[in-house]
Amino acid sequence: MSPRHPTSDDAQRRIANRLKRARGQLNAVIEAVESGGDCRTVVTQLAAVSSALDKAGFAIISSAMLECLSEDAAVASDADDRLTVAELEKLFLTLS
């Protein structure tokens, strides 16, 4: 029995949830700045936003890699729309 890979819909839902959490954290940073919040608190919240966005980016690339490597996707997808391994690598490196 092979491990279950998340479906594209599952992956998109999880990525959207990550981004929504990051949006909430960013709203908290903005409110803290506007209200003259403590520098330590603002920077800590900002670091959390940055980390959440990084994780969402890696999840997006991971999902794309799984789709590109899937035989089903190779058959079902238009070759012009698929990312190459080199393009995926470049996207991955932009996040590091």
What domain range includes position 27?
8-94
Q: Residue 28 in 3-state DSSP?
A: helix
Q: Does some domain include residue 3?
A: no
CATH code for the domain of 26: 1.20.58.1000
38 or 82, greater pLDDT: 38
For the cut 80, the answer to whether the pLDDT of residue 96 exceeds it is no
What's the number of domains the chain is made of? 1
**CA-only gyration radius of the chain, Å:** 17
CA torsion 20→23→27→28, rounded to 10°? 80
Q: Does some domain include residue 1?
A: no
pLDDT one-digit tens code per residue, 29-73? 999 999 999 999 999 999 999 999 998 988 888 887 777 667 555
pLDDT one-digit tens code per residue, 4-20? 455 678 888 999 999 99
Q: Does some domain include residue 60?
A: yes
Q: Does some domain include residue 67?
A: yes
Q: Does some domain include residue 58?
A: yes
| SS3 labels along 39-87 | HHHHHHHHHHHHHHHHHHHHHHHHHHHHHHHCHHHHHHCCCCCCCCHHH
Q: Does some domain include residue 2?
A: no
Residue with token string 């670091």 = 47
